[in-house]
Amino acid sequence: MRYKVVPEPPGLDTLEAAHAAMPLVPGSVEDCCLRLVDRTAVPARGSAREWVTFMQALDVVAETPRGYKRRRVEFDPRALGNAFQRRVFGAREVLATLDAGPATVDTAFESLAPAVPEWERDRHTDWEREWRERTRRLLEWGVAFGLVVRDGEAYGRADGP
C-alpha cells in the first residue's frame, strides 16, 4: 500500500518531535492529533491527521484495532528515506525523474502527472495546482531524508548525476 498524504516538510526535527508525541499505548486518532497539536509545531487537527498518516507511511507509527501508536524504532534518516520511497505515492516517480538529471518542480510534476489517478484529478477543481504543490513537498522531503539536493530552483539526486 502506498500513502498519498505528504505534509509540509519543516524538517526532520519536527518529524522526530511528532514521532515522540505519539503514544506508546494505542490511542484514538482524535487523541493522537490532540497530542501532536499540544506537543509539536503542528498547527491544527487537520494537519495533525496528515502527520499521523505520513508517519504511518514512514513505518514509525502503527495502526492497531485500538488506535494509533508510536513504533519503537530508531529514528534513522536513511531508513525513513527508504520507507518514503517505498510507501509514499509519487516519491518513487519523482525520484526517478531526478535519475536523468536535475529537475525543477514543474519538470518533476510533468513526470508524475501521468501516474495521478483519474479520480484524484476529478477530486480537485485545479488538480494540476494541487499535485504540483504535492510534487514540491515530495522533493523537499527527499531533501530532508538526504535523497535529494537542492540548488536554487533545481533538485537533483544526492547520489546521482
> Is there a single domain that holds both residue 83 and residue 141?
yes
- The answer to whether residue 16 is domain-embedded is yes
- For residues 112 and 58, give the distance between their C-alpha atoms in angstroms, rounded to a whole number: 20
Write the CATH number for 128. Answer: 1.10.10
Each residue's pLDDT tens digit, 15-66: 999 999 999 999 999 999 999 999 999 999 999 999 999 999 999 999 999 9
**Can you say how many angstroms the Cα of residue 108 is from the centroid of all Cα atoms in its chain?**
16
Q: Contact at 8 Å (CB) between 32 and 67?
A: yes
pTM for this model (two decimals): 0.93
DSSP classification of residue 88: B
> Is there a single domain that holds both residue 56 and residue 123?
no
Strands 61-64 and 67-70: antiparallel
Q: Is the pLDDT of residue 161 over 50?
A: no
- For residues 67 and 116, give the distance between their C-alpha atoms in angstroms, rounded to a whole number: 30
As given in the structure block, the three cell numbers for residue 50 are 496528515
Look at residues 53, 70, 87 and tell me which one is the last residue of a structural domain. 70
pLDDT of residue 52: 97
Q: Is the pLDDT of residue 160 over 90?
A: no
Q: Is the pLDDT of residue 68 over 70?
A: yes
- For residues 159 and 161, give the distance between their C-alpha atoms in angstroms, rounded to a whole number: 7
Question: What average pLDDT does range 2-17 have in this prediction?
Answer: 92
> Is there a single domain that holds both residue 82 and residue 151?
yes
Each residue's pLDDT tens digit, 96-120: 999 999 999 999 999 999 999 999 8
Mean confidence (pLDDT) of the chain: 94
Q: How many domains does the chain have?
A: 2
pLDDT of residue 10: 81
pLDDT of residue 103: 97
- The answer to whether residue 41 is domain-embedded is yes
> Is there a single domain that holds both residue 92 and residue 59?
no
Question: What average pLDDT does range 84-104 have in this prediction?
Answer: 96
Q: How many CB atoms lie within 10 A of CB 131?
A: 20
Q: What are phi and psi of 146, to 5 degrees?
A: 80, 15
DSSP classification of residue 67: E
State the pLDDT confidence band at 74, using cuts at 50, 70 and 90: confident
- The answer to whether residue 2 is domain-embedded is no
Q: How many CB atoms lie within 10 A of CB 15?
A: 24
> Is there a single domain that holds both residue 150 and residue 90?
yes
- The answer to whether residue 4 is domain-embedded is no
DSSP H helices in 58-156: 77-87, 91-98, 105-112, 118-123, 127-144
> Is there a single domain that holds both residue 64 and residue 85?
no
- For residues 25 and 37, give the distance between their C-alpha atoms in angstroms, rounded to a whole number: 18
pLDDT of residue 159: 78
User: Which residue range forms the structural domain that includes residue 86?
Assistant: 77-157
